Structure 1
Amino acid sequence: MAADRTSRKGLSASAIRNAKPKEKAYKLADRDGLYLLIKPSGIRYWRMNYRFGTQQRTLSFGRWPEITLVEARDKLLEARRQLAKGLDPYNQAKLEKIAKSLAAANTFQAIGDEWLDKIEKEGAAQMTVKKARWLLRKVYPDIGRRPISEISAHELLLSLKKVEATKRYDTANRIRTACSQVYRYAISTARAERNVASDLLGALVTPKTTHRAAVTTSGEAGALLRAIDGYDGHSLTRTALQILAHVFVRPGELRWAEWDEFDLERRTWTIPAHKMKMGRPHAVPLSEQVIRLLKEIEHDASYSSFLFPSLRALDRPMSDNTLNAALRRLGYSKDQMTAHGFRALAATLLNEMGNWNPDAIERQLAHADGNSIRRAYARGQYWDERVRMMQHWSNHLELLRDGATILRPQFGHSGS
């Protein structure tokens, strides 16, 4: 197929538009080896012929008009640069195509779901995985189908700003943190080179830190315990609040408590790792008062595996709003007391007593210790103290409930 003659300046846009298909395919030569192959069907391809080593090759740059004359010339120039470096443009084009295919498969959502699956297999608490999945789904509609390596910081920021615009500042920041974790995973698995989420640190409105409302004085605690004892709603809800005050676990850990986690003979409740925020099993010594409350619960494992099942479905625990709603019914606003506030109450009063090692209190609160050796040592060292502390705490709560005067040590004063 001989190429039709063109001027030394190459093809023009009008020459391309006016070229008619023929019975056989023919070429319209441009310059520097670029030509337009016109098929009998009228489809037109930009191509170049070149020699690499001993092989004669043809490289296609795409179809006209999807690829314009200017774009085809740019592609030709890039191919010639590759040849000058000793690279085969044909092989480079194949590698680029493979890379694009892999990038299309490695979307933000695909890698995000993969990361969620990874942390779940590693033992992250169910609630942690659930929250992370909920956060990531906020940005999936905007960037979920985009190759993670192609998402710009500005693109992610626009998605986060949508959440921020609803004044959910804390949620927007937590989404950015979750996205950053996905990016770190993508980088470690060679699917991204840069964490654009970390570039956005400080770009969002920083929410004002608010502490969960909690009763933290002995007098307030006594009034609260008396109010709970007089709760006239469902008896299981009352029992759940009573137990929560004694064991001060996270509310979700109590709601999801199951009968087979309790050893009443050894007076121990062992919460499995997947239910814990920190992803590690946690043992709770059970006082005599807690044992008595557990035995007062009218149903057992044959009725539901949960201590506090939902009234609508026995295979689910009570709603996460049940305990807070009960506190509202007792007259405590969300600014006065929450179900989570029992942890602050216990931490405050136990530390004020001065009788217990602060590390033992922290261990009972299941707060993380970053040092794994220290953590292992603490488990063995503080268990006996925690058993004594939890019984003392239950005894103390009974005194507060009954209105007894609590004598506090007066440090720094000598007797007369």
Structure 2
Amino acid sequence: MPLKELEVRYASRRSKDYKLGDGGGLYLLVRPTGSRLWRMKYRFDGKEKLLSFGRYPEVTLAEARLRRAEAKLALARGEDPGPKSPSPVTSFEAAARAWHGNRASGLEPGHAARILSRLERDVFPSLGQRDLKDITAGDVLTMLRAVEARGALDVSRRLRQHVSQVYLFAIPQGWATHDPAAGLATLLRPKPRVRHMARVGAGELPALVRAIDAYDGDENPRRRAVTRDALLFTLLTWARTNETRYATWDEFEGLDGPDPIWRVPAERMKMGREHIVPLSRQVVALLESVRVYSRGPYVFAGDKPALPISQNTMIYGCYRMGYRGRQTVHGFRGLASTWANEAECYRPDWIEVALAHADRDDVRGAYNSALYLTPRRRMLQAWADHVLGMIVAPQEALVA
């Protein structure tokens, strides 16, 4: 039923908001403060929306009804009577920041920060203030050539992708009409071939394992034991050098239980995420033997108990065993990965998580440090059995 002027004029305040309807979606919203506001509810493009016509008595009942009628006419023409969107973003920097803001919540924080840093350092200085529609393929290529000139070939390719993604974000919103970076991939200088960390072939693994077990490259007995055990621990856990070096006793959990783990904190991981390593029986036995000579917080302490072994301790150990240029400590991971993939009974996801590799897939990239813990435990146990089975007359403590 339509409102009367007196109803509007004498609408009293209450403890909560309430509405006085006039029909056609128009109503007076009365607030606890006593203010009276004209609103109109309507639907457009399948969505419920709200118009604000102002405050009574500045806007009278008759004026509110006139604005309702105008809104109805706009709807009849297929137009949205609501406030028009602000002027579209046109500068590349504004569009890029809007694109980045739209994506950031789905990215690992460190990765999101690196993307924005690349744009701020290399793209915004030359293209940032340019109108999106005015930027040509030549402009983008000139920017990329400058990045290539300093030898950052991988960065130049990533930047081309970022620029293209900004345009793919902007085009549907009417900010641009085409992507000037789309055809530039084949014009960029190719990345140099990746030089993988040296490692021996699978057929030479038994000799390597026996060399580690019999390591005698240091005159100092304690230093010799630390190097040997650190190498074997790294081989069995698929860890990186610094993850082993800085391992502390308080990171190990459940060593006397059925499901022991090594919880590597995020700040020590390459990808900035906590990593949980399920420990095989052999690794637990190795850690028990290390406790005999370990001093201080570090599992593999250097000559000074308060410090870990040096960056070069394990790689020099490889050199002393005769593996200079043939096997690196990081190459242990490649040996393990090859074994797991060729076994054809371990899923690629298990292997990648065990290696603490990043997954750029938006869904699987929401990394859970405990992901696939049970199958990874079986896999690492099988690896330990495989590796230590190569040792002639293996030590009883490591095969128990």
Q: So what's the TM-score if we normalise by structure 2?
A: 0.51
SS in 2 for 1:400: coil
Aligned-residue offset at 1:244: 0.9
Judge conservation of contact 1:153–1:199 (CA < 8 Å) in 2: no
In the other structure, the counterpart of 1:230 is: 216
Q: How many residues align?
A: 282
For residues 359-386 of structure 1, the C-alpha deviation after alignment (integer angstroms, 9 at most, x for no partner) is 5445533454959589999x77x54443
Distance 1:120 1:240 in 2: 39
Deviations 1:330-369 (A, max 9, x none): 33233x2222221221233345556x43454455334549
Evaluate the alpha carbon distance shift between residue 314 and residue 182 of structure 1 in structure 2; reply closer, same or farther with a 3 A threshold: farther
Verify: 1:327 aligned to 2:314, yes or no: no
For 1:187 and 1:199, how far apart are their aligned partners in 2? 13
Q: Classify 1:386/1:147 alpha carbon distance in 2 versus 1 (closer, same or farther; 3 Å).
A: closer
Give the aligned partner of residue 381 of structure 2.
Answer: 391
Matches of residues 258-277 of structure 1 in structure 2 within 5 Å? 258-265=248-255, 266-272=259-265, 275-276=268-269
Contact 1:343 1:365 in 2 (8 A): yes
Q: Distance in 1 between matches of 2:167 and 2:144?
A: 19
Paired amino acid for 2:216: G
From 230, 241, 246, the counterpart of 1:240: 230
Report the Cα offset of residue 391 of structure 1. Answer: 2.8
Output the CA distance in 1 between the equivalents of 2:360 and 2:123: 36
Which amino acid is the alignment partner of residue 261 of structure 2?
Answer: T
Q: CA deviation at 1:395?
A: 3.0
Deviation sequence 1:48-75 (CA, Å, 0-9, x none): xxxxxxxxxxxxxxxxxxxxxxxxxxxx
2:282 corresponds in structure 1 to 289
- Residues 251-281 of structure 1: per-residue CA shift (max 9 Å, x gap): 4543454444321434101334565556654
Confirm or deny that 1:148 pairs with 2:128: yes
Flag structure 2 segments of 5+ consecutive residues without an equivalent. Answer: 1-86, 395-400
| Secondary structure of 1:291 counterpart | helix
1:17-96 counterparts in 2 under 5 A? none
Partners of 2:317 and 2:118 in 1: how far apart? Answer: 32
- CA distance in 1: counterparts of 2:362 and 2:107, whole angstroms: 19
Determine if contact 1:272/1:282 at 8 Å carries over to the other structure.
yes
Match of 2:346 in 1: 357
Does the CA contact (< 8 Å) of 2:217 and 2:321 recur in 1? Answer: yes
CA RMSD of aligned residues (A): 5.3
**Does residue 347 of structure 1 match 2:340?**
no
Q: Within 5 Å, give how 1:152-191 maps onto structure 2.
A: 152-164=139-151, 171-172=152-153, 174-180=154-160, 183=163
Q: Percent identity?
A: 25
User: SS where residue 331 of structure 1 aligns?
Assistant: coil
Distance 1:290 1:399 in 2: 14
2-side partners of 1:200 and 1:259: how far apart? 51
Residue-by-residue CA offset, 1:230-250 (whole Å, 9 max, x unaligned): 342855444332211111134
User: Using the alignment, how far apart are the partners of 1:361 and 1:271 within structure 2?
Assistant: 17
Residue in 1 aligned with 2:35? none
Instruction: Evaluate the alpha carbon distance shift between residue 158 and residue 402 of structure 1 in structure 2; reply closer, same or farther with a 3 A threshold.
Output: same
Contact 2:160/2:185, CA 8 A, preserved across alignment: no
Match of 1:208 among 193, 207, 228: 193
The answer as to whether partners of 2:261 and 2:278 remain within 8 angstroms in 1 is yes
Aligned residue type for 2:279: L
Cα contact 2:264–2:276 (8 A) shared by 1: yes
Partners of 1:217 and 1:345 within 8 A in 2: yes
Q: What amino acid sits opposite 2:185 in the alignment?
A: L
SS of the aligned residue for 1:284 comes to strand
CA distance in 2: counterparts of 1:310 and 1:136, whole angstroms: 39
Distance 1:155 1:342, change over 3 A: same
Q: Which residue of 2 aligns with 1:408?
A: none
Q: Which amino acid aligns with 1:287?
A: S
Match of 1:20 in 2: none
Deviations 1:298-342 (A, max 9, x none): 1343xxxx55578899689854x65444433433233x2222221
The one-letter code sitting in structure 2 at the alignment partner of 1:230 is: D
TM-score, normalised on structure 1? Answer: 0.49
Asked if the contact 1:311/1:318 (under 8 Å) is kept, the reply is: no
Q: In structure 2, how many angstroms separate the alpha carbons of the residues matched to 1:353 and 1:366?
A: 20
SS in 2 for 1:270: strand
- 1:290 Cα deviation from its structure 2 partner: 1.7
Matched to 1:217, the amino acid is: A
Partners of 2:164 and 2:180 within 8 A in 1:
no
1:400 to 386, 390, 397: 390
